[in-house]
A and B are shown apart, each in its own frame.
Chain A
C-alpha cells in the first residue's frame, strides 16, 4: 500500500530565503502531484510530475521527481509572504489503474516579512 510522507510538517521562513519541502513515498507511484491550500480554502493544483527526472517550475516554486529514490521535492526560491499556505504532495499507486491519490500530511509554510 502506498504511503506518502512529507517533511517538514511546519516551516517558518524569512522572506527572501530558499527552502525545500520533501515528499517520500513507499512504493512505486505512477505520478506525483503537488497542491496548495490556503487557510479555509480548497486545494489548488500546482504541479503534475509524470516521470523520473521530471522538473516543473512556476514562479518561485520548482518541483522535481526522482522515482528511483521515491522522492519528490518542492523548492522555494526567495520566498515571499504570498507563498504562505499548506502544500500537499499526492502519489498515485501504480497498481491502481485510476487517478486515486494518496495524500501526504501537508507542510504548513509561513513566510515572515
Chain B
C-alpha cells in the first residue's frame, strides 16, 4: 500500500505570499497524483490532476509539479479564499486503493 505524507501539517502565511505544499509518496506513483482543496463546511474540490494539470476553472495561481515520489502544490500569490486544507491523492492498482495524504492546513498568519 502506498502512503502519502504531506508537509507541513500547518502552514501560516499572509495574503500575497507564496505557498509551497509538499506531498511525498512511499513509492513511485509516476505522475498519477491529484490535489484537492477543502474549505470549512464544504466538500473537497479538485485542483490538480496528473501532478501538474489544472482542473477546469482553477485559477492560474495554482500550479503542481513533481513525479515519482515527490510532489509540490504551489500557490503563487495567496488570495483570502485560498486559506483551506489541501489534500493529495493517488491510486494504487494492487490492491486497488485510493489514498489521500493527511492534509496540510493553510492558515492566515
* Bound together: no
Q: Could you list which residues of chain B lie within 8 angstroms of chain A, going by C-beta atoms?
A: none
Q: Could you list which residues of chain A lie within 8 angstroms of chain B, going by C-beta atoms?
A: none
